[in-house]
Structure 1
């Protein structure tokens, strides 16, 4: 059993202290329970709230300043990278981690990039172009760390930074392309120099995504998402992958809050990861594929129930099993006050 408790607060600093065009965000997080992914034996994971070390922590704390009538903004502070980059709204109902951010990016960095469950100090620029286009870029501390983690907030930049940029349009949904690169070299998974030390390489990658409304509206409609990403594949376990799926709202008559989603996540393993596993006596296929079906509906104004079914064709077989079937249910209680 996994648990996720969140407390968020947003403030208009113009109304609160007279700081015009500025707003602040605070996000506290507490997770408990682990081991479901180990039981499933998957590489990409099966639940996006599982953490290796559950504890209360400060997840986000940032201030954003707007300029040019809101068309330009600058954000500084602890920020979730996936809130602004490599993100599909239509994939948000799915529980498997790969639908949140591509595995080839989520597996990078000295301890993972600035995503759940630990963020990093971020400087982000966002520019709105015309009626529906945008460009955004960010420099993010390569080592994530927040209050509540063992080392606390990481400020030294001793591991360099992750640079990322995305451009796209929100007309009819979202169409975007992005690229990322670390400023400091990281150890190759396999290659060594003449002294036997790991070769140091710059990790980098790119992605593209489509998120479009096929029919209907926000109350009763059908959305489609497709996205794909690649990386250099030398310093992490993934060289690329893709995710695709649909989100249907109001599918069942008389259940206006019901949402149904179906998705496929395909993660391609790097040669270095597979060779290392082989040296340890294991074996891995070139990719892992997961299929997820889920439905969420409200049983009360503050309570929602979400049954979830996943089948994963495992890249790394365990006990002779190539496939894993996972059945679960997520219960969401939410309260808001303005």
Structure 2
């Protein structure tokens, strides 16, 4: 058995070890803060109106929404389980597909989903060990919330500013459906960290067709990242699938797709550029690369600036500008020609501008614009202009 082979058995053994360590951690004594509640409930509702004003495949406006009900339980305060916590998210999604109108391969709005339904989004147990130096998470968890994250891009709607398109093509557990996995995070110092995750490559949770997948028939996704946070953030990461994937264009002597290892790496930098009570600037840059044969993307780059607060009288106002470029792999472009499609360009570029501000402590409004150059890499599709308005209500 190789290091990356037998993914299901390896994950089961790691999960068993995690449970054992969690039980050991639970025996430790720690005084709980007397006035903090053991259970915290939350609700977040996002409603997006997204319109293609010009270019793309067709013009028109789509509505999308997502309702998340969350619960956090401090197991120490609840049952005396030292260092333990639990988290639960229920998610309901609905709406149309603005990415199809725009013809955008990277997408337009991260709220867009292929299946509109109520599902269990996340459900995990977390255990802190060694005085907080080690943290274990076991369950259904969104990998995109912990790996390759640049916080300054968090308000942008385009999906590529969340999980990079080359990483997302791996199938790693992310919105709206996650999968069973284990994440380990170690913080050797207050400003450095190492983390790794091993998750089922086939996503599936209660509420999805077929429910939660526990077979691991598609193998597992391994992700690892090391970073420093002394001033801003600098991080490098790596991911790969344990099961080989079909090449999109190359066949073997028997006429079957050549099987290849899907893998990639990334690096990111997020740094404060200026400071002050108004228009403090934070910059971010992330670049990723993959083998480029088993998915559409050879790599991608995201960069941008966040100015917050934008106005002295509006402490919650912000302006974010970002650009993302996704390079299409040679195999994907060859597959388009083999299928009788167009000869695609080398990539797709999206420029996004978003202003965000709170009306009160529960309602946030965010108008935005996106300009998509060469949607889908198709030279026959005109550049698209997309306008959006997000209403975010949280309790």
Q: TM-score range by the shorter chain?
A: over 0.9
Q: CA deviation at 1:77?
A: 0.1
Moved more, 59-68 or 192-201: 192-201
Equivalent in the alignment of 1:27: 89
Cα deviations by residue, 1:42-67 (Å, 9 ceiling, x for unpaired): 11001000001110100000001111
Between Structure 1 and Structure 2, how many residues are aligned? Answer: 332
Equivalent in the alignment of 1:66: 128
Cα deviations by residue, 1:131-162 (Å, 9 ceiling, x for unpaired): 20000011111111111100111111111111
Q: What secondary structure sits across from 1:139 in the alignment?
A: strand
8 A Cα contact 1:303 1:334, kept in partner: yes
Which of residues 79, 84, 108 is equivalent to 1:46? 108
Equivalent in the alignment of 1:222: 281
Counterparts of 1:92-171 in structure 2 under 5 Å?
Answer: 92-108=154-170, 112-171=171-230
For structure 1, list consecutive stretches of 5 or more residues without a partner in the other structure: none
Mapped partners of 1:218, 1:18: distance in 2: 42
Matched, 1:243 2:302: yes
Equivalent in the alignment of 1:212: 271
8 A Cα contact 2:69 2:89, kept in partner: yes
Q: CA deviation at 1:253?
A: 2.7
Flag the structure with larger Rg: 2
Which of residues 44, 56, 60 is equivalent to 2:118? 56
Q: CA deviation at 1:316?
A: 3.6
For structure 2, list consecutive stretches of 5 or more residues without a partner in the other structure: 1-62
Moved more, 148-157 or 308-317: 308-317
Q: What secondary structure sits across from 2:374 in the alignment?
A: strand
Q: CA deviation at 1:300?
A: 2.1
Cα deviations by residue, 1:254-312 (Å, 9 ceiling, x for unpaired): 11110110000000001111111122232211010000000011112211110010000
Compute the TM-score of the two structures, normalised by the length of structure 2.
0.82
- Residues 317, 177 of structure 1: alpha-carbon distance in 2 compared, 3 angstrom cutoff: closer
Compute the TM-score of the two structures, normalised by the length of structure 1.
0.95
Mapped partners of 1:32, 1:49: distance in 2: 9
Equivalent in the alignment of 1:272: 331
Mapped partners of 1:186, 1:2: distance in 2: 32
Matched, 1:305 2:305: no
Q: What secondary structure sits across from 1:177 in the alignment?
A: strand
Cα RMSD after superposing both structures: 1.4
Equivalent in the alignment of 1:291: 351
In terms of fraction of residues, the more helix-rich structure is 2
Matched, 1:331 2:331: no
